[in-house]
Structure 1
Amino acid sequence: MKIQGAKRLEAIDAPSFSELFEAKKQYTQKTGQEVIDFSIGSSNIPPHPDLKNALSKAVLDDSVYQYSLSPMPETVKAIQDWYAKRYGVQLEEDEIFLVKGSQEALSHIPLVFCDPEDLVLIPDPFYPIYGVAPQIAGAKIHYMPLLEENEY
């Protein structure tokens, strides 16, 4: 049985990461040039050994296996301290929203801020979710090519 998706998804024509990977592979085979791929955001460089050791210890701690209904105060405080030190900015607790990664954040931002038919400006080239998320929210997109003649 084929499941029919929502009609709003019919207008979305964004390349999948597997298509981008295949295009990169074909380009490298054709030209012999290696492509630096920033598309998926998943590093192929292993984390520092200290981080791997800390993660290994945390996995064995049964008290960490629970949902958090709100951000832990020490996490919010660490974020506030980092922004104050790095940018000289004092963030209030209600200005901090924790997500499980940039992909989740980028996919939800247009759902919060865009109404159907709003216009979203997107630099091109772009990370795929920049184009897909506003379309899901019903917004119109205007791509802004980043070209040498525009001093990019």
Structure 2
Amino acid sequence: MKKLIFLLAMGIASFDTIAQQAEVIGLSDQEKTARSLAQEQLDAYNNRDIDAFMIPYSDDVKVYQFPDRLLYEGKAPMRDQYARYFGMTPDLHVTLVNRIVQGNTVIDQEEVTRVTGEEPAKAIAIYKIKGDKIAEVYFIKPLD
């Protein structure tokens, strides 16, 4: 019985790995880079690691409220904003609901938990990649 449970568990782990690999099959190099950058910043966000979080972003990153309201520009204000936010929200965690990658654009549908036990906020983030960095971010605010 223990062997059966072990084999089933290994099969599930293998399935997850295959599913993750299948996500990148058929993506162009540009799309693989875009997907990787989006995931890198998401992982750092969930770890509230400001240094790792900043790495995927360009020095002159622009952050917008969709469609075109500039919130801030540059790594310095972004670092200040997120460092403060990470410090205020020890339960902060994003669950990726869906990800679309096309060309140099990544669209993430997310659920953001700020406080454990509270209803997660729904969010959509759009990342525009230029070269090998995230150059623009657009946040879509849910309708009330």
- The TM-score normalised by the length of structure 2 is 0.22
The structure with the greater share of residues assigned to strand is 2
Structure showing greater radius of gyration is: 1
